[in-house]
Chain A
Amino acid sequence: MPSDKFRYQLRQEAEYWRRDGLIDATQYQQIAERYQFNTLETAARNRFTLVLIGLGSILVGLAVITFVAANWQEWPRSVKMTLLLSLFVGVNTAGFYLWRQRYTFGTERWQQRLGQGLLLLGTLVLGANLALMAQMFQVNGPSHELYLVWGLGVMAMAYSLRLTSLGVVAILLLGLGYWQAFFNWGTLELGSIWLRWFLQYMPLCIALLTVPLAYWCRSRVIFALGAIAVISAFEGNLSVLGLNYDRLIAETPWLSAIAFALPPALLWAYDDTFWAEGGQHRLSNLETHRPFHWLARSLALLFLSVLLYWLSFHGFWDGQVTYYPTTIPETFNALWANVTVLLGLTLLEWLYLARQAKGRSPRRPLELSTPVMASFIGILAGLPFLPQGGEFMPAIATFTVNVLLFLLGAGLIREGIASGQRRNFWLGMTLFVLQTLSRLFEYSTSLVFKSFVLLLCGLGVIAIGLWYERYIRTLSTHSRLSVTPNPTEGEN
């Protein structure tokens, strides 16, 4: 379905064409019918209505819950329970049956919008039900369990109704639950065994929950959020093991190598057609669409940027080893499961990537970036294996990471210029400036020198930015059409 923005522009253009005599009235009429120009105004109005309905339903839901809470002691428990449950069933049912109505082309009817608003409200009511039931029956549980159970409940609904909005809510709730538990992991109260198991295997569980949902809903948002959730839970579980990475480097270099290298490698080599290859029958539409391939690569670049910036500080590599314990607890069996599965997947993905690359012409510019990426990841993975102790290791590691960070910034800028992608260009620029400023404040002490560098940075950014936006951007929009499909700006 074409976007409203496109249809607005098309309508404007078509009117010009008709006025200038490029098309006649019949042709204009045909275009108008094909793209449903007449629904454009109502679409905008409907969107506004949806916002109002959404806000309104949340307020109504809060009103009911507060009303129940206000009459807490006067009403018997059964009345409160009945009220809460009927609110839960009522809101969801009304939402579903309104939402289920048939679409007209180009726009949703108000019923669908109201229905979706009510289904979203239904997730809120589910959470309120869970929390209030626990209060009513004096059930003492840690708050992360509420979020996890709530998230799983919403996830079931998202799968069944194939609704992106519910999927997003579910991922956010699960993430909230995970990080709540993560920061209180030493004091997990009378927690359920199942939920602790879920937390242990969180990277795998969340991957199994979100990646199929992203395909099922065809949603880039769900894929991106899911990938972030998987990677952050993986890093979280790794760092629970060592409490922080310094210790990991000192003790088990290969584990920190995995922490650094696995996420970008996994994301970079992610290819939608990989699943089709593994399955019994080929999913032919994936061959042509590959909806999440470039998204995963963008996330890999983002992860690498953040990681390199973080590792580029001398303090990170400095001064460990002294008072760390000598044994890793032999208790994190779940960690090995997470690492093994994700590592295996990464290796398979890279094998698949290599096999694909063989069959293709090497002239495609983005195929060249994969060896570069591979060497970045390889160097990062090698760093923890440098001989420990003394000044040697921190110096070499800091220097290497800074060189990598510089190269990444430069590469992104180059890529941004070559393909006319504003996002890569500005990510590269940001890395450059951040690196320069960070090194400046980390090492130098002279204020005059600092101000000089700041001035240069500022002027440089302004000059390059203006130049880029003025010339390259306009040039590349013409050339891009003939060179390569835009990698990161796929369908929404």
Chain B
Amino acid sequence: MAPTPSASRTLPSWRFWLPLVCQAALILAIPAQSLHTQLTGRTVILKTAPVDPYDLLRGYSVTLSYDISRVDTLRQLPGWSEFERQRSANSEWPATRFFYLVLEAPGVASTNPPSPWRAVRISGDRPTNLVENQVILRGQIGNNTVPDGLELQGRTSNNTVQYGLERYYIPEDQRDAINQNINTAQANQATQPIVVEVKVDAQGNAVPLSFWVTLGKASAKQTYHYQF
């Protein structure tokens, strides 16, 4: 690449340091948000949905979907019809919209693995009147079909629900062990084998912290806890 004329000895240092500080700010913004959530957030346990074991482990990350990631689950919650009405009235490109899920702590505490929280309500606006054992989790629902009828052109209707909790990066040396445990657990359809611990802050942002994999039936139960 040809040298540019300004590249002389007189180029002041701030011309380098200013963009470098901007770049560093971009880098540091990532942990800042995450740390804020981890420090100020409340711990919530989520139950995963049965997933395809072959789709679970991709490279160095685990891909999980939750019970509350399924639109069918959300549809049964109070507030869904109102949220749906808001969404269709006020869709923008891309046709996604935030929603807030109110989660409630389970009655019994301190089991191993801990019992998952239960979704009790959904709304398009941030709920304010929460009781002590409730938190809000912010999610986003995406919709592939903006104009009705376009499925005929090969684009199928595919609602996706995302909470920013769908991927865990795992250490290289634990990969095989985790993979094996998850596969074994998935083969056992009777129990719900995976629960995930997340931290949720007041705005509804969430970060994943750890997950438990349970192997075997109730009598000879074995639980593995993976922390990140």
Contacts and interface: CB of A to CB of B under 8 A. Distances in A.
Interface stretch (B10-18, B112-120, B177-185): B10-18
Nearest to A168: B1
Q: How large is the interface on A (under 10, 10 to 19, 20 to 34, 35 or more residues)?
A: 35 or more
Interface residues of B, number: 64
Interface string A51-91: 00000000000000000011011000000010001001100
A126 B142 CA distance: 30
Nearest to A247: B153
A321 interface: no
B166 interface: yes
A48 interface: no
A179 to B, nearest CB: 15
B98 to A, nearest CB: 9
A162 B171 contact: no
A102 B3 CA distance: 11
Contacts of B2: 1, 164, 492
B30 A134 contact: yes
Interface stretch (B87-95, B100-108, B217-225): B87-95
A200 B93 contact: yes
A411 B121 CA distance: 67
A190 interface: yes
A440 interface: no
Contact of B162 (A135, A190, A492): A190
B163 A190 contact: yes
A455 interface: no
Nearest to A241: B93
A137 B26 contact: no
B21 to A, nearest CB: 10
Interface string B154-172: 0100101011111111011
Nearest to A129: B27
B164 A139 contact: yes
Given A135-B169, A149-B26, A217-B4, A186 B155 contact: yes
B81 interface: no
Contacts of A137: 30-31, 34-35, 207
Contacts of A153: 19, 22-23, 26
| The 6 A-B residue pairs with the shortest CB-CB distance in the complex, in nearest-first order | A186-B144, A137-B34, A73-B171, A156-B19, A135-B169, A133-B30
11 contacts: A89-B24, A92-B16, A133-B27, A153-B26, A157-B19, A161-B11, A163-B7, A185-B93, A189-B160, A189-B166, A243-B153
Given A140-B167, A186-B160, 17 more contacts: A72-B172, A96-B16, A130-B26, A136-B31, A137-B35, A138-B209, A157-B16, A159-B19, A161-B15, A185-B93, A186-B158, A190-B140, A190-B162, A218-B4, A325-B149, A328-B147, A334-B93
